[in-house]
Amino acid sequence: MVLSDYRREFGAFCSSVRAGKATFQDGAFLFFLMNVDLLHAAGAILCNDQIVVNVVRLRVRQLSQGHRPLVVAPPGTGTADIALMEIIQNRIRFAPAVEADDAIPLPAVLKFPHVRAKKIAA
């Protein structure tokens, strides 16, 4: 392909990402996107912006502690961009917490027979 063909495809991909009509199965141009485009693409996958922020925050913490990235990233890519690429390529998913109705009940507090409560000094 000629360089102009790449530019045309890249422009079409970026406009489809901004419009929310992009399919994220082909990650060929993900390495050329800027952070803003990655944020829009990740926002299209995860429904809530606060969820995107928290997922990226936790993954950046893991990556800075030494965990390996789940996607191939060019040298010099920031940890936030790597986390966004992982979300876009469906390597990281969000699962909501357990509902309050489905919570496991805590066991009842047992009182030991020969233990007295300590008196608090006034």
pLDDT above 70 covers a percentage of the chain that reads 56
Tell me which residue range forms the domain holding 13.
3-88
Q: With contact defined as beta carbons under 8 Å apart, do 85 and 30 qualify?
A: yes
Model pLDDT for residues 61-91, shown as the tens digit of each residue: 999 999 999 999 888 888 899 999 999 999 9
117 assigned to some structural domain? no
* Residue 12, domain member (yes or no): yes
Burial of 70 (0-12, 13-18, 19+ CB in 10 A): middle
Residues 6+ apart with CB under 8 A from 1: none
Query: How far are the Cα atoms of 33, 82, 101 from residue 91, in angstroms, in the given order?
Result: 18, 11, 30
pLDDT tens column, 25-50 = 544 444 444 578 888 888 889 888 88
Q: Tokens 């300590």, residue?
A: 118
Instruction: State residue 98's pLDDT score.
Output: 64
Q: Is residue 84 part of a domain?
A: yes
pLDDT at 49: 85
C-alpha 92/C-alpha 84 separation (Å) is 9
Name every residue whose Cβ is closer than 8 Å to that of residue 51 and which is 6 or more positions away in sequence: 94
Q: How many helices (H) and strands (E) does the chain have?
A: 4, 0
Global confidence as pTM = 0.55
Residue 23 lies in a domain: yes
The more confident residue out of 79 and 107 is 79
Q: Is the pLDDT assigned to residue 58 strictly greater than 70?
A: yes
